Amino acid sequence: MSPDTPTRIAVTAVCLDPTSYKSLSHFLMGVPGSVVVGNFDRYVGSERDVARALERAQSRVCIIDYDQNMDEAIWITERLHAEAPDVYVFAASSYPEPQRIIAAMRAGCAEYLLKPLQNQNVIDGLARAEAKQKDRARSKIRGKVVTVIGAKGGTGVTTLALHLARELAAQKRKCVLIDQHPALGDASLYLGTGRHQYSFYELAGNTDRLDAELLQGFLLHHDSGLHLLDSPEALD
């Protein structure tokens, strides 16, 4: 791999037999952004070495040979899964028995590769690991909450919140305006969306079953791209 090529995927191995390791190294030499960084010759005590060897890559994969000593292979899989959760562990084995596959998956393996290693199976597993890594990175991006509070009614809180929310939506940012007036809030009136039969307070009472689909059912959608969680329509 060229020194200028970014390390997209780094792969290391633990106790992988020489034939499989040679095949893996030769194959990954032709995959842009991929590199094999070593084959550790012991199960016990190599988990920290594995994590250090992979730390500079965007996606990190460790292929553990499950043929030499399955008990120790399970042990290091569990240690890596607990101590380095961003490392995706693949089991490599000559045995396709369901009980062995189940044991490897329960220990924390993301893939079970049969020997001799097939290039397409390896590349498919790496693609799934990359996709999971990207999903995990996206899930770490947290939103922000901006709260606008007035000391009393008539101070322009709704107007300020509406303009701020509209500006964020105009910048193509995902934005939800929540009207937390306890009754008869007028954010939906200003936006011209009409009232919603459900309000913020009803949603708050259903947090135990809240998911993306339920949330969408509570939202009003404005043409600007802004979403609104309405206030109650009646005094309660």
pLDDT tens figures, 184-197:
778 888 888 888 87
What share of the chain has pLDDT > 90, as a percent?
Answer: 36
Domain count, the chain: 2
Q: Are residues 161 and 121 in the same domain?
A: no
Give domain status of residue 204, yes or no. Answer: yes
Quote the mean pLDDT of the chain. Answer: 85
69 & 132 share domain: yes
Confidence of residue 90 (pLDDT cuts 50, 70, 90): very high
Query: Does one domain contain both 170 and 130?
Result: no
- CB burial readout 114-133, b (16+ within 10 A) else e: ebebeeeebeebbeebbeeb
How far is it, in rounded angstroms, from Cα 182 to Cα 236?
Answer: 8
**Residue 206 counted as domain residue:** yes
Q: Is residue 193 part of a domain?
A: yes
Q: List helix spans (H) across the chain.
A: 18-28, 47-54, 70-83, 98-107, 119-139, 157-170, 187-191, 200-204, 212-218
- My answer on whether 122 and 190 are in the same domain is no
Give the residue-averaged pLDDT of 215-229: 88
* Same domain for 128 and 20: yes
- The tens digit of pLDDT for each residue in 31-58 reads 888 888 889 999 987 778 888 888 776 7
Distance (Å, whole) CA 17 – CA 157: 68
Q: Are 83 and 51 in contact (CB under 8 A)?
A: yes
Compute how many other C-beta atoms are within 10 angstroms of the C-beta atom of residue 195: 15
88 close to 130: Cβ distance less than 8 angstroms: no
Structural domain ending residue among the three candidates 111, 139, 167: 139
User: Residue 86: pLDDT above 80?
Assistant: yes
Residue 6 has a pLDDT of 53
Partners of 91 in beta bridges: 64, 112
153: pLDDT strictly greater than 50: yes
Is residue 1 assigned to a domain?
no
132 and 174 assigned to the same domain? no
**Residue 5 one-letter amino acid:** T
Pick from 206, 205, 185: which is nearest to 196 by CA? 185
Range from 97-101, 217-221, 231-235 that averages highest in pLDDT = 97-101
Same domain, 21 and 65: yes
Are 234 and 226 in contact, with CB atoms under 8 Å apart? no
Query: In the prediction, which pLDDT does 81 show?
Result: 85
Note whether residue 37 is domain-resident. Answer: yes
102 and 174 share a domain?
no
Is 4 part of a structural domain of the chain? Answer: no
Q: Give me the pLDDT at residue 213, please.
A: 80
Same domain, 29 and 68: yes
Taking phi over 0 as left and psi of -120 to 50 as alpha, with beta for the rest, 225 belongs to left
Same domain, 20 and 132: yes
177 and 217 housed in the same domain: yes
Rounded Cα distance, 15 and 195, in Å: 64
Distance CA 81, CA 108 (A): 6
Is residue 236 included in any domain, yes or no?
no
φ, ψ of residue 222 to 5 degrees: the values are -95, 155
Q: What is the value of pTM for the model shown?
A: 0.58
The residues near 156 (Cβ < 8 Å, ≥ 6 apart) are: 150
150 assigned to some structural domain:
no
For the ranges 36-45, 95-104, 129-138, 156-165, which has the lowest average pLDDT?
129-138
Q: How confident is the model at residue 1 (pLDDT cuts 50, 70, 90)?
A: very low
Q: How confident is the model at residue 103 (pLDDT cuts 50, 70, 90)?
A: very high
Domain's final residue, options 106, 139, 172 = 139
When pLDDT is cut at 50, 70 and 90, the band that residue 141 belongs to is low
Q: Which domain holds residue 199?
A: 157-229
Among residues 105, 139, 173, the one where a domain terminates is 139
The reply to whether 102 and 130 lie within a common domain is yes
Who contacts 51 (Cβ-Cβ below 8 Å, separation ≥6)?
80, 83, 84, 87
* pLDDT score of 14: 93
Q: What is the CATH number of the domain that holds 17?
A: 3.40.50.2300
